[in-house]
Structure 1
């Protein structure tokens, strides 16, 4: 049992180390950076581009709920 716990700990540390290395990669964004322009579908499936939203609004909030099991 201790060998399995040690293996899980090593794997967890490897994953966390990989995630932290990705944050500091060249070209990555940090909290507070301006987002690049992108396009996502809205709730009706229509394409919405960030630059189009910012032409008429002062900001945008992007909500992402993977598999939220909603009825809508």
Structure 2
């Protein structure tokens, strides 16, 4: 490996590392001021979704209680 190739690889590696270190925007949760009429307090609501831990996208069921 010559010096020029090494500097190209080092430059691309440094640039990709610097680009991946950007800060993420803050996420804020807001509560409902008035609940919708069809929402029953304490009753579980089930949602079908996909898992995002791997590229397979396995199906999951998520339970939400208000």
TM range (shorter): 0.3 to 0.5
TM-score (norm 1): 0.40
* Structure ranking higher in helix proportion: 1
TM-score (norm 2): 0.43
Query: Which of 1 and 2 has greater Rg?
Result: 2
